[in-house]
Structure 1
Amino acid sequence: MYHEAVYINTNSAFPDAFGAVSYWFVIQQNQTKPALSQSSSRPFLDLLSQSPKTIGFSRHPYEPIEGVERLEIYCVGGYHPINIGDHIHTRYQVVQKLGHGAYSTIWLVRDQRHGKYVAIKVCTVDSNPFEFSVLSELSDSQQSSSTSLGKTMIPQGLDNFEIQGPKGINPCYVSILTRMSLSGADLPSKYGGPELVVIRRFDGQPLPSNIPPKAILPIWLGEASGEIILPEAKIQFSDFGEAFSHTNQDKFKSHTPLVSRPPDARFEPYTPLSLPSDICMFATEDSITCEQVDALDLLPREWWSKSEERHIKFTEDGRPLNREPYWSWEESFEQDIQQPRHRKAMPLIEPTERDAIFKMLKSTLKFRPENLFTAKQIIDCEWMVKWALPEYEKIRKR
């Protein structure tokens, strides 16, 4: 069983976490940290959490370009510079940029051996070296079953190799495109050519050799979620860059985005991350913890004492202090679910189904990992059995 940040792409043009994503759901993303310290073992990691104001122009020398990877990460341990028209591994010709993340850039390329388009993820030098093996193991486990719902949800890895860059060796992974209708004729006429932006330093000095002369904006090959009907929505898990098997190694530091990080990762930093934490979807900043407590209950006693702002934001029994309370479950459901459905002339969710939804969600929103439902318990819960899975089967058969 693997821990992983899993992004769900609906009808996206490529199987990765960056670019044409209509919505996403994070299960868990973890990062090795053998010892708790303030310094990172990856040379570029510290840059990711800092802004130009905090690190100064000496460490942020380039004018920022919206939608482009942080140029400072073209450094030791970082990105590999790539240009349109490059041939990667002699076989794959770069056609367009699909996106980027903290540990990779993703490219639309033409496989000249088979004459088709595929996606290549070119990882940073210091990225997880086991990503492709994890993906292959998960994919192989599904391919043996003809009935597994997960068979089409795990992207198929086609190739993996390494390329020598100016700052080290970069792992590369090739995968299929989820939008298989792309053709050479479609690309220029429908999407236009690559959009390039000149890279400039704040101090006006020439660019170093490891920085591309022009930044490439990612192309959008997806569809707006509002334009996709349910039978057309294809769910696919992707981005396995931080996956690990909890049976083979312990990890203590979570790099899941704060909005989805389990609270035990904050309050129990010396306890290995666990499978139950994968079910939890929390943020851990004090401001977000206020929302958690308002919606659920007090933190466990030993965690409550570690909350730095509890005396400012809460009374001792957990009531809001010096602030307005967050919405209740019922208020949020009415505002975010029922009212939009009413505006779209959709039938409202009946109280029986609403209560089953609440019960399921609350089972995934427990502070203690050991109190969380397992994935199987969620699949077997009332809402999944009576409403979600039957509807999903109808969609599959259309």
Structure 2
Amino acid sequence: MPEMGPWRVSMYQHTGFMMRELVENVERYTPGGYHPVDIGDTITDRQDDYTVVQKLGHGVFSTVWLVKRQRKQLDSAEQPQVSFHALKILRADLGDARASHELDFLQRLGQVGRSSHPNIVMLEDSFTVSGPNGQHRCLVFPLLAFSLHSDKSWSLTPSQRHHTCQQLASAVAFLHSHNVCHGDLTPSNIAFKVPSIQSMTESRLLELLGPIKEETLRLRKGSVVASASFSGLDTSSLATVQIIDFGCAFSGNSPPPTSRCPVEFFQPELLFGSLIYYTFTSQYMFQVGFQIFTHLVAFVVRHHGPVPAHWKGKFVWSEYGLAQPGQPVAPSPEPDWWWSDDVKRPTPSLEDRFAKRASYLSAAQRDELPRLLRDMVAWEPSRRISAAEADRRLKALVFFSLG
């Protein structure tokens, strides 16, 4: 993609309570920002040529592209080796320390064994590319399909949803056993594997991805590309997911001072159950259209019961940016009913909401799974079950085929 003008082109998709931005912020195609990429471009490493086939996704810190890798021929008699991969290109302004953060954790997991856990993505290669906006770290991964956040996930069968939850619990338990916390475990970072994808022809792969959607940019010649929709993919063939994007990962004994994960999906040490709820229902457990702390707590109280009484008055609001600089902190911004078990909550219980949104489950499953979720999102950390225990209970829950 050529150098951009100062105007931003945005493409949005509304999905219930979610508004998904389909393209990256093009104003970040400046020195220190994204690396400009076009369909058909070739990005060269010492050993490989990566030809861009389609766009897979984007984030605040990177863009991700489907690429065709061809090994450089050392011997003219050798047959070229061609394979398909996902190429993640980080922003140039992240610096060596920030850019190497994800790489360090991926390499750390890789040292455990490349086949150590089937539900955690493994790094295949890394290199640096130079462009008009600076030096960019590039990470090469196996090619995966759409994420759990995609509309395509709505067509998953009950057994696929249950199997996905089992895999996620197992993978998170594995990470924790190696003192690794993902830090951003959201539906966008859970991607499905496509069976036999490396044996597909390029034309068949393009059919699976769906048509390329482009939006012309004003002021300068060029276009921005939306992520592949995977409209040609039959979801009934999907059986395996992998956790991706370790850019916010941290060691269990040195957590960061703040979380970069959306409040609906705080890292698994806080609210891993939110992701399990989403997998079964395609809805947020905590549906807050605006992330105001008091409203979020009120929502949780209405559905999950009162805040522990011994927490009262201990929240230092100013430390969490909830008071403007120079302004006094409200002396008692905590409503009394947060702490009372006697207050009638007019909103549906977790059990009622889950039963309505996962009506395809059996009565026994609709009864047991909310109990599991409550144990995963208990107010006090000491009362929350571990990912390993969640994995055990999900596997113990017999899942009957519902047709």
TM-score by length of 2: 0.62
Question: How far apart, in 2, do the equivalents of 1:92 and 1:197 lie?
Answer: 24
Could you say if the C-alpha distance between residues 239 and 96 of structure 1 is closer, same or farther in structure 2, counting changes exceeding 3 Å?
same
Task: Give the fraction of aligned pairs with identical amino acids, expressed as a percent.
Answer: 24
Q: Identify the residue that residue 165 of structure 2 maps to in structure 1.
A: none
CA deviation profile, 1:99-148 (whole Å, cap 9, x unmatched): 11111111111112121221101111215422133223324425466xxx
Residues 1:143 and 1:117: Cα distance change in structure 2 (over 3 Å) = closer
Q: What is the alpha-carbon distance in structure 2 between the residues aligned to residue 238 and residue 119 of structure 1?
A: 11
- Once residues 312 and 111 of structure 2 are traced to their aligned partners in structure 1, the CA distance between those partners, rounded to angstroms, is 44
**C-alpha distance in 1 between matches for 2:28 and 2:342:** 44
Structure 1 pair 213/313, CA: closer, same or farther in 2 (3 Å)? farther
Q: 1:175 is matched with which residue: 124, 128, 141?
A: 141
Distance (Å, rounded) in 1 between the aligned partners of 2:373 and 2:272:
10
Contact 1:291 1:326 (C-alpha < 8 Å) held by counterparts: no
The structural deviation recorded for 1:295 is: 1.9
Deviation at 1:254, TM superposition (A): 0.3
Q: Is the 8 A contact 1:122 1:171 kept in 2?
A: yes
* Maintained 8 Å contact 2:307/2:339: no
Answer 1 or 2: higher relative contact order, Cα 8 Å, separation at least 6.
1
Among 330, 333, 352, which residue is 2:351 paired with?
330
| CA shift for structure 1 position 81 | 0.9
Cα separation, partners in 2 of 1:141 and 1:316, compared to 1, 3 Å: closer
Corresponding residue of 1:256? 261
Superposed displacement of residue 365, structure 1: 0.8
Q: Distance in 2 between matches of 1:103 and 1:121?
A: 10
8 Å Cα contact 1:60/1:72 also seen in 2: yes
| Structure 2, unaligned runs of 5 or more | 13-21, 72-80, 145-193, 275-284, 318-329
Deviations 1:296-324 (A, max 9, x none): 22223465544889666947626669xx7
Q: Is the 8 A contact 1:279 1:373 kept in 2?
A: no
Deviation sequence 1:321-363 (CA, Å, 0-9, x none): 9xx732112321331122xx2xxxxx7322xx44432321111
- Residues in 2 aligned to 1:245 and 1:303: alpha-carbon distance in whole angstroms: 27
**1:158 is aligned with what amino acid?**
E
Tell me the amino acid that sits aligned with residue 119 of structure 1.
A
Structure 2 equivalent of residue 366 of structure 1 = 378
Partner secondary structure for residue 10 of structure 2: coil
Task: Identify the residue that residue 86 of structure 2 maps to in structure 1.
Answer: 119
The TM-score, its normalising length taken from structure 1, stands at 0.63
Q: State the match for 2:340 in structure 1.
A: 317
2:271 and 2:376 in contact (8 A); partners too = no
Give me the whole-angstrom Cα distance separating, in 1, the residues matched to 2:207 and 2:266.
Answer: 42
Relative to 1, partners in 2 of residues 1:291 and 1:313: Cα closer, same or farther, differing over 3 Å?
A: farther
Code of the residue aligned with 2:103 in structure 1: it is: F
2:110, 2:232 → 1: CA distance? 26
Q: Does 1:385 align with 2:372?
A: no
Contact persistence 2:120–2:243 (CA under 8 A): yes
Pairing of 1:22-33 with structure 2 (within 5 A): none
Q: Which residue of 2 aligns with 1:155?
A: 121
Q: Residues 309 and 339 of structure 2 are in contact (CA less than 8 Å); yes or no, is this contact kept in structure 1?
A: no
Secondary structure of 1:185's aligned partner:
helix
Supply the distance in 1 between the matched residues of 2:333 and 2:384 (Cα, whole angstroms). Answer: 24
Which structure 2 residues correspond to residues 286-297 of structure 1 after superposition, within 5 A? 286-297=294-305
- In structure 2, distance between residues paired with 1:98 and 1:256: 21
1:228 aligns with 2:221: no
1:186 aligns with 2:192: no
User: In 2, distance between residues paired with 1:333 and 1:191?
Assistant: 33
- 1:50-107 superposed Cα distances (whole Å, 9 cap, x missing partner): xxxxxxxxx9732433421111222343211111221112511111111111111111
Moved more, 115-124 or 288-297: 288-297
Of residues 3, 7, 10 in structure 2, which corresponds to 1:64? 10
- The CA distance in 2 between the partners of 1:287 and 1:313, in whole Å, is 14
Is residue 2:258 matched to residue 1:240?
no
- 1:169–1:250 CA distance, 2 compared to 1 (3 A): same
Q: Secondary structure at the match of 1:156?
A: coil
Please say if 1:95 is aligned against 2:48: no
User: Does residue 1:108 correspond to 2:119, yes or no?
Assistant: no
Match of 1:74 in 2: 29
* Structure 2 Cα separation of the partners of residues 140 and 257 of structure 1: 30
> CA offset at residue 173 of structure 1?
0.7
Instruction: Check 1:89–1:319 CA distance in 2 against 1; reply closer, same or farther (3 A cut).
Output: farther
Q: Give distance in 2, aligned partners of 1:280 and 1:60.
A: 42
Query: Which range moves more in the overlay, 117-126 or 214-223?
Result: 214-223
Gaps in structure 1 of 5+ consecutive residues: 1-58, 201-205, 263-274, 342-346
Query: For 2:385, what is the secondary structure of its paired residue?
Result: coil
Instruction: Sort the Cα spacing of 1:297 and 1:188 in 2 relative to 1 into closer, same or farther, 3 A.
Output: closer
The DSSP-based 3-state class of the residue aligned with 1:379 is helix
